[in-house]
A and B are shown apart, each in its own frame.
Chain A
Amino acid sequence: MSSDRSADGDAEGTITRQRPIYTESQVIMTTVKVVIPFVLTYGLFITFHGTSSPGGGFQGGALIASVVLMIAFAFGIESTRAWLSNTLVVGLGTVGVAIFAAIALIPMALGGDFLEYTAYYPVLGDTLGLKEYEFVKYGMEAVEIGGIAFIVSGVLMGLFFALAAGFTPADLDVTGAASDAPTDEAVGDDASNAATDATGEVDAE
């Protein structure tokens, strides 16, 4: 649980990073257990209301990510990270971009413009039973949900875990934080993953 405690630095003034120690609290755990379903539902609600009413993938994605943040605070960051797995966090962000790009690029293959949702109408109109103008609405909805909500929630979780893990520079590592060494590489990767993901988020907007 509290495996992310690190050395407090050596005596001679070199300051290494101090990480918060996880304390198990019945109050926090119970509260989080009660609150989570509502927050998740609210996040999904906001996400699905992206086109015709206030809401959207960005806000909804942030709320969905906040569920994971709350779990992490209540049950320990390291155990949450292990439970969620790196693959899911990276997958959310990257697959979101892929879905967005696919929705945008397929109309070009169908002879329309980039992101022209109505280009789907001749192909999918009969199957889905939608009118041409409705494709704009549902196309946008697909981008909001499959693209932006995925990306934002994935990136926020990634950033949170990267920040929580911290970064021990190589030259500080020799001072005594050797116990951290096995996790260091993964941590560094996460941090830079998150940094580049954050830019994908701007793109999605």
Chain B
Amino acid sequence: MSDALLPLLIALPLLAGIFPLLLGLRFERAGWPVAMTASLTVAVLAGWLAWAVSPWSGGPQRFVHDLAGYPAPYGIELVGDGLSAILALLISVVAVAVLIYGRTTGPQTNAFYSGYLLLTGGLLGMALTGDLFNLFVFLEIVGLVSYALIASSDDGRAAYGALKYLFLGTTGASLYLIGVGYALVATGTLNMGDMATELAAVGYTDPLVQAAFGFILIGFMLKIAIFPLHTWQPDAYTYAPDTVSAFISALVSTTAAYALIRIAYDVFTVDFFAANPLITDAVLLVASVSIVVGSLLALLQTELKRVFAYSSVAQFGMILAAIGLQSETALFGAVIHLVGHGLMKATLFMGAGVLASAYGAQTVADYAGLAKRAPITSGMMAVAGLALVGIPPSIGTLGKWFIALGAVEEGSWGVAAVIFISTLLTLTYIGRLLETLYFNQPATTDDETGVVGDAGDATDDGSIVADGGDTERATAGIDDVAPVATERIVVVVVLALSTVALFGAAGLFAEFLDPVFGRFFQ
């Protein structure tokens, strides 16, 4: 019976996606309640799935649902196991969080909420499918809705970012499709489980199989935004509305990385890496370069959202490195880091969004002294930022620790060194943010803004609690403060605390992932 959860998890948000539009014909503000109801239902279903695949339910830890009743090699199957359940839970929880955050901000058209639900459905589809072509379809759904959502800002630059993403994202999806085509020619099947056995029969050193993996890898590297192929990502994350940047940065690349893990280890398996040392080395090299260059580029940025965007390039480089290491420990770390990175980036982008709408802060310099004026949000951004560096206790520590441990176990000292260096670089750019937030004095504004600020002061003096903290004006002539809804700050707090709380969840992750990794590393 639990296998019925799998199609429901995908179909429900996709079906709910029509109601904001349909009800929007009659009601102006139908979108948010519909999206919230659907997202909460999906979260409950995802929780149920997670419980069903956990060892405590006593049932099987892997569910398969044959669509239309056709059996596996011919029909399309949906698969739920520990790994996909973790992803489904992450997607649904972040979807609810971002929706709460976005109630008063972000694009509030009904079309936006339709797109939001379609994106949730597409991501869940990517997480739960067991068919390579089906994965492509969901990849395209996710891609198309992402482009639309990024462009939903009124800013013309958002349209530019979305267009760039459209060109590169479509190229990535096409490369993936070409790879799947090669694999289909080599094996004659599209089902993941079936293809794993067929690939072993064809031989892992067959040029067709190598080419298939190469295309799939490059396609996903574009989607994940690994260093030389990351160019769409900073513009897309920076110019999208805050709600959308938080959602997309937390989930889209994450799910693509999950799909790469799934294909690399469930379809091509570790034996493929063992048989092709050149490909393995290339993966590790590209990943290492991405880690270092991503961190350095993040260090060079002035706009805060752009810092976080480049930081994602580095963090996903780390996950790609873990994929190339063929180590169970490292892959365990990679999955934890996927979840952790999603939560941390969601917190950081949301925190940046709160401060941007309250104080108009865009560049790192704009954040000077904001810790005094917005202690809660700044504090939570600091927590998430330090988690990103890997300071214990946080989920960031766990992920990095296990990836680095895996690298050491495998004797890849280069990768271990790169992770160490990247931690220092992460500390540098997060440290720069923290220094600005807590220790720098806000720059005195020039005359023009001073006048605007005074006008604002006159009208809303002391009446606005921007951050639940002290509203005393430290200096005269600071810009006026726009009110920020309380629930936006609450969401940031909850997510930031979750990154800390999950420090103790290594055992929990292991319970979920052991059966899956048992299959990956036979």
Chain A residues within CB distance 8 Å of chain B = 86-87, 90-91, 93-95, 97-98, 101, 104-105, 108, 112-119, 169-171, 188-189, 192-193, 195-200, 202-203, 205
Main secondary structure on B side of the interface with A: helix
B507: Cβ under 8 A from any A Cβ: no
B450: Cβ under 8 A from any A Cβ: no
CA distance A195 to B118 in the complex (A): 12
B141: Cβ under 8 A from any A Cβ: yes
Given contacts A113-B65, A114-B67, A195-B148, contact A90 B15 (CB under 8 A): no
CA distance A117 to B145 in the complex (A): 30
- Name B18's contact: one of A98, A170, A188 (CB within 8 Å): A98
27 A-B pairs, CB-CB below 8 angstroms? A86-B25, A90-B21, A90-B24, A97-B15, A97-B18, A104-B11, A105-B15, A108-B7, A114-B67, A115-B67, A116-B68, A117-B68, A118-B69, A169-B154, A170-B154, A188-B109, A192-B111, A195-B111, A195-B147, A196-B112, A196-B114, A196-B145, A198-B144, A199-B115, A199-B118, A199-B148, A200-B14
**Residues of B301-326 contacting chain A, CB below 8 A:** none
In the assembled complex, which residues on chain A have CB atoms less than 8 Å from the CB atom of B148?
A: 192, 195-196, 198-199
Given contacts A115-B68, A205-B137, contact A193 B21 (CB under 8 A): yes
- Name B11's contact: one of A105, A193, A197 (CB within 8 Å): A105
In the assembled complex, which residues on chain B have CB atoms less than 8 Å from the CB atom of A114?
A: 4, 7, 11, 65, 67-68
CB–CB B25/A199 < 8 A: no
**Residues of B128-177 contacting chain A, CB below 8 A:** 137, 140-141, 144-145, 147-148, 151-152, 154, 156
CB–CB A189/B109 < 8 A: yes
Nearest Cβ on chain A to B213's Cβ, whole angstroms: 26
Q: Which residue of A lies closest to B77 (CB)?
A: A113
B22: Cβ under 8 A from any A Cβ: yes
Given contacts A97-B17, A101-B14, A113-B69, contact A169 B156 (CB under 8 A): yes
B66: Cβ under 8 A from any A Cβ: yes
Given contacts A114-B68, A196-B115, A203-B141, contact A91 B15 (CB under 8 A): no
Q: Which residue of A lies closest to B6 (CB)?
A: A114
CB–CB A98/B67 < 8 A: no
Nearest Cβ on chain A to B318's Cβ, whole angstroms: 31
A97, A169, A199 interface centre (most CB from chain B within 10 Å):
A199
CA distance A189 to B152 in the complex (A): 10
Nearest Cβ on chain A to B177's Cβ, whole angstroms: 13
In the assembled complex, which residues on chain A have CB atoms less than 8 Å from the CB atom of B21?
A: 90, 93-94, 193, 196-197
CB–CB B22/A91 < 8 A: yes
CB–CB A203/B118 < 8 A: yes
**Residues of B3-29 contacting chain A, CB below 8 A:** 4, 7-8, 11, 14-15, 17-19, 21-22, 24-25
Q: Which residue of B lies closest to A118 (CB)?
A: B69
In the assembled complex, which residues on chain A have CB atoms less than 8 Å from the CB atom of B137?
A: 202-203, 205
